[in-house]
Amino acid sequence: MTTHETLTPAAPRQRPEHHGTAAPTDGTRAGRGLHIRGLHKVLGGRTIIDDLNLTVGEGELVSLLGPSGCGKTTTLRMIGGFLQPDSGSIEVQGQEVSHLGAEKRPSAMVFQNYALWPHMTVANNVGFPLKLRKLSKAQITERVETVLELVSLLHHKDSKPARISGGEQQRVALARALVQEPKLLLLDEPLSNLDAKLRVKVRDDIRNIQQDLGITTVIVTHDQEEAMSMSDRIAVMNAGRIEQFSTPADLYARPETEFVATFIGSLNRIEGTLSAGTISAGTDVIGIRPEDVTLSVGAFKGSLPATVERVVPRGHFQEVHLRRADARLRSFVTGETPAPGQQVHAAISKAMTFRNGHLIEESGTAQ
């Protein structure tokens, strides 16, 4: 395969208005993407990955999202061939790869601390994997320049890593993976070393390049906003398992568990039962998104009286913290904002009920 066939951006793929609608959730093209079945790993006597199953469609970007220590890096390293699973199968484009070493797999990984060689120029860093594969100098130069152009760094090809910015270094690490023309791109926390502003920029760069090349990609992150903004689908991980796997919009609107509801977006969590303007004690958990809490000065049927405790400016909206004897609530307010100490009435337009961590009921409470 020549450089041009795979690295020249194909005709732009149709970009769905909301990420995720284009994801092949029916698995029609999944045979050519990534298939993980029954992955299991014990480390230090503890089960770290427990019967993990995941299907990523060809050209799809999937994030593994979860709290620190849930097993994201361990999973990615097994996919990339840097760690041997105890059992389970990993298929890339229809080929079983779990018995292959990392260098034999059709995947390339960008590690969290992207470890560029400081004494080498940008071009030599990027070309290094090709040098190992004994490509000719001319071939290496051609491929390196193609990828450097793709990540908008051709003008820095002769710079040393120390002379370029963090975001540029991250893009060099990405180029070093892309130059290998992988069928599967694996990125471990690719934005964690960047400041907030750069994070948004590099995030968009990665997503655009991924879309233009149509490359199947798995990204590990613990940042829900990052996962929401880049992914076709997100696998929410908790303690070595995938808790829910769906599009960002679906995970937000229809979380199946309390863990997912808490991890994706903001959530008011109240222990008890909500009915007719009162909260009664109980073992169920009510989950309410702050945007589903609206405030008014006067009381009305079904409203919950509360006191404004704090108002936090959040840019284009305010986060109002409310307090009652039996609960705390947060409300996102865009219009007129009440002042701390003021008595208000909260109306809840939508609530989820969880029992033993699982969603049992979703209600829009009538007012």
101 lies in the binding site for ligand ATP (CB under 6 A): no
* Binds 190: which of ligand ATP, Mg ion, none (CB < 5-8 Å by kind): none
DSSP 257: B
Burial of 174 (0-12, 13-18, 19+ CB in 10 A): buried
Question: Judged by CB, which is closer to ligand ATP: 44, or 315?
Answer: 44
| Contact residues: Mg ion, CB under 5 A | 73
Chain position carrying tokens 């948004």:
200
Question: Judged by CB, which is closer to ligand ATP: 149, or 223?
Answer: 223
CB of 78 to ligand ATP, least distance (A): 10
190 lies in the binding site for ligand ATP (CB under 6 A): no
* Binds 68: which of Mg ion, ligand ATP, none (CB < 5-8 Å by kind): ligand ATP
DSSP 12: P
What does the alpha-carbon distance between residue 206 and residue 219 come to, in Å, rounded to a whole number? 10
224 lies in the binding site for ligand ATP (CB under 6 A): no
* Binds 171: which of Mg ion, ligand ATP, none (CB < 5-8 Å by kind): none
DSSP 163: G
In DSSP terms, 320 is beta-bridged to: 311, 331
48 lies in the binding site for ligand ATP (CB under 6 A): yes
DSSP-derived 3-state class of residue 231: coil
Among 25, 55, 63, 73, binds ligand ATP (CB under 6 A): 73
Q: What angle do CA 164, 138, 128 make, to 5 degrees?
A: 45
Using the contact rule CB under 6 A, the part of the chain among 72-80, 200-208, 252-260, 306-314 near ligand ATP is 72-80
Question: Judged by CB, which is closer to ligand ATP: 74, or 216?
Answer: 74
Among 25, 55, 63, 74, binds ligand ATP (CB under 6 A): 74
- Count, residues near ligand ATP per rule CB under 6 A: 12
Question: Judged by CB, which is closer to ligand ATP: 241, or 350?
Answer: 241
Say if strands 87-92 and 61-65 run parallel, antiparallel, or are unpaired.
unpaired
Which residue in 235, 189, 180, 232 sits closest to 210, CA to CA? 232
CB of 105 to Mg ion, least distance (A): 20
What does the alpha-carbon distance between residue 172 and residue 219 come to, in Å, rounded to a whole number? 17
What does the alpha-carbon distance between residue 168 and residue 47 come to, in Å, rounded to a whole number? 38
113 lies in the binding site for ligand ATP (CB under 6 A): no
Question: Judged by CB, which is closer to Mg ion: 73, or 238?
Answer: 73
Which residue in 75, 81, 131 sits closest to 106, CA to CA? 81
Chain position carrying tokens 């590690």:
111
Binding site for ligand ATP (CB under 6 A): 43-44, 48, 66, 68-74, 222
